[in-house]
Amino acid sequence: MASLQRPSLPLLASLALTFILAVGLVTSAKAEDEQVAVGRVEPVDLKDEEVQKAVEFAVKTYNDMINDLYISRPIKVMGASQQVVAGKNFYLKIKFGRTTCSKTQSDLTDCPFFEQPDQQQRVICNFKIYSVPWENKMSMTSFNCHRA
């Protein structure tokens, strides 16, 4: 009758150490991948609720800052990306058109754009919006605009 030998203690210790090292390497590789994603600027879906809030904030802040009697509204959001930091940075590229509605009007959602070329004032702006959703905070870090 064949006898079953018990594995020696050094063999078991060696196998355990090999297993721990293998699991550690896999975990370490995954952690490095996740660290690379934090801080990386990546494209976002324009339909995302957070992106929509950032666009709305950029439009409102832009209109508050410009020295014009008329409101401007987006013609098109040309690009959007985000960067995960201690919160999120949103990078937005928005093409604006000047509307016929004054800033004193309350309902600005259906304001038509000026049709006369000398009144249109089309601009393209790049915004950096910093958001900390769990603190319900949003701020414009920077923006620059040029005529379209």
Look up the domain containing 63 and give its range. 41-147
Q: Are residues 71 and 18 in the same domain?
A: no
Tens digit of each residue's pLDDT (9 = 90 or more) over 53-65: 999 999 999 999 9
> The tokens of 90 are what?
């949103």
Q: Are residues 22 and 49 in the same domain?
A: no
Assess if residue 113 is contained within a domain.
yes
**pLDDT for res 35:** 44
Q: Are residues 95 and 65 in the same domain?
A: yes
Give me the mean pLDDT over the 93-103 stretch: 94
- DSSP per-residue codes, the chain: -PPPPPPPHHHHHHHHHHHHHHHHHHHHHHHHHHHHHTT-EEE--TTSHHHHHHHHHHHHHHHHHS--SEEEEEEEEEEEEEEEESEEEEEEEEEEEEEEEETT-S--TTPPBP-SHHHH--EEEEEEEEEEGGGTEEEEEEEEEEE-
Q: Are residues 72 and 85 in the same domain?
A: yes
Q: Are residues 93 and 31 in the same domain?
A: no
**pLDDT class of 10 with cuts at 50, 70, 90:** low
Q: Are residues 138 and 67 in the same domain?
A: yes
**pLDDT for res 16:** 59
- Count: domains in the chain: 2
Assess if residue 4 is contained within a domain.
no
Give me the mean pLDDT over the 12-41 stretch: 57
Assess if residue 86 is contained within a domain.
yes
Question: Domain with 76 in it: what CATH number?
Answer: 3.10.450.10
Q: Are residues 56 and 119 in the same domain?
A: yes
Q: Are residues 18 and 62 in the same domain?
A: no
Q: Are residues 17 and 45 in the same domain?
A: no
Distances (CA, A) of 102 to 24, 108, 125: 63, 9, 21
- Of 20-24, 32-36, 43-47, give the lowest mean pLDDT range: 32-36
Assess if residue 63 is contained within a domain.
yes
| pTM, entire model | 0.72
* Mean pLDDT of the residues in the chain: 83
Return d(Cα 54, Cα 121) in angstroms, integer.
Answer: 23
Residue in this structure with the two tokens 């950029």, named with its chain if needed: 58
**pLDDT class of 28 with cuts at 50, 70, 90:** very low
Return d(Cα 93, Cα 52) in angstroms, integer.
Answer: 13
Assess if residue 1 is contained within a domain.
no
